[in-house]
Structure 1
Amino acid sequence: MSDGESVRIEKRGQPVALLTALPRAKGKAFKLPDFMGRLKETWGDRVFTAAEVKAMRDAEHEGDLG
């Protein structure tokens, strides 16, 4: 019924009810945050070296045994 189809309910072969989906409520469109803007605001034009990335990942996983 989520696709808008109807369901007919019958008793002894005779229709007794018809279930239909309610029309979808039109809400405000959700606006996604500006992820690239946030990234630029936080890090600017900074580019990390492979060694810096490894150090950050090691710090994140420190004490994490799986």
Structure 2
Amino acid sequence: MKTTSIRELKHDTTAVMAMVANGESVEIRRRNVPVAVISPIPAKSPIERPNFRGRLKEIYGDALLTVTGTDLISEDRGDR
């Protein structure tokens, strides 16, 4: 882990943040006493999305419906 002083953090924030962006943790010291640690955010794991197409295939198989959802809604609305 790298260390830096508060003064260096104030005057050269870009360099310190570049170290953090490269995956290093940086310990901030005041009068050579550790006061904080700046560390990179852990990478997020990808969101697992439900397999809707697979679910529909399990429920209905390869059957094709003769009436679409649009047809059903239009039929229900009537002559509006």
TM bucket normalised to smaller: 0.3 to 0.5
Greater CA radius of gyration, 1 or 2? 2
Give me the TM-score of the superposition, normalised by structure 2: 0.35
The one of the two structures with greater contact order (alpha-carbon pairs below 8 A, sep at least 6) is: 2
Give me the TM-score of the superposition, normalised by structure 1: 0.39
Higher share in helix: 2
